[in-house]
Amino acid sequence: MTKASFKEKLRSKKATAGITLGARIALLSAIALLVVVLDQVSKAWMRLVLVRGDLPLIPGVLRLSLVENTGAAFSIGQGATWLFIATAMGIIFCAYLWVINDKNLPLSIVVSLGVICGGGAGNLIDRLVRGSVTDFFATEFIKFPIFNVADIAISLGIFVAFILIWRYDRRDDQRCDRTTK
């Protein structure tokens, strides 16, 4: 058995646990929807609560500060709304394509993709409806861009997906090495 075929066999049996394509798409969509709801509710709430100004959340560490951002982190790309819309749509489309085309994609990666898609969709909704993204978490102990729930989801989802992909590839390589000796 070749290393590549062993990897495919291992991934198909263990990682997906026989979950159908429809179930994987439903899982991705449900997680994305949950993140979108959390993001949009938090943004609507902050637009109501923060009309009078900033609120300290954890003094010296984190405060709530309402900002409407037409760019990305550090206000990069101000006014490039359509570029951000196209990018978000492309990433969401690619995530769904990956889930559809890789029947052996581990469920943990499907979950991470759902979190990423939800964050991307949350900011996409803001850009389409408001022309900007509502940000409200501001760090006080370091200079860092003001961010929101969608940004947290995107960052966390990407971080976890990279770790999972690295872990699966490394574990598969170790198993293949043991069986080929």
Catalytic residue, candidates 39, 126, 135, 172: 135
Tell me the pTM: 0.83
- Amino acid in position 20: T
Q: Write down the pLDDT at residue 146.
A: 93
Q: Write down the pLDDT at residue 176.
A: 53
Is residue 172 one of the residues assigned to a domain?
Answer: yes
Is residue 4 one of the residues assigned to a domain?
Answer: no
Residues of the chain with pLDDT under 70: 1-18, 74, 170-181
Q: Which tokens sit at 40?
A: 């949009």
Q: How many domains are there within the chain?
A: 1
Contact 129, 46 (CB under 8 A): no
Is residue 149 one of the residues assigned to a domain?
Answer: yes
Catalytic residue, candidates 151, 172, 173, 177: 151
Q: Write down the pLDDT at residue 25.
A: 97
Is residue 16 one of the residues assigned to a domain?
Answer: no
Is residue 11 one of the residues assigned to a domain?
Answer: no
Q: Write down the pLDDT at residue 10.
A: 46
Structural domain containing residue 31: 21-180
Q: Write down the pLDDT at residue 177.
A: 52
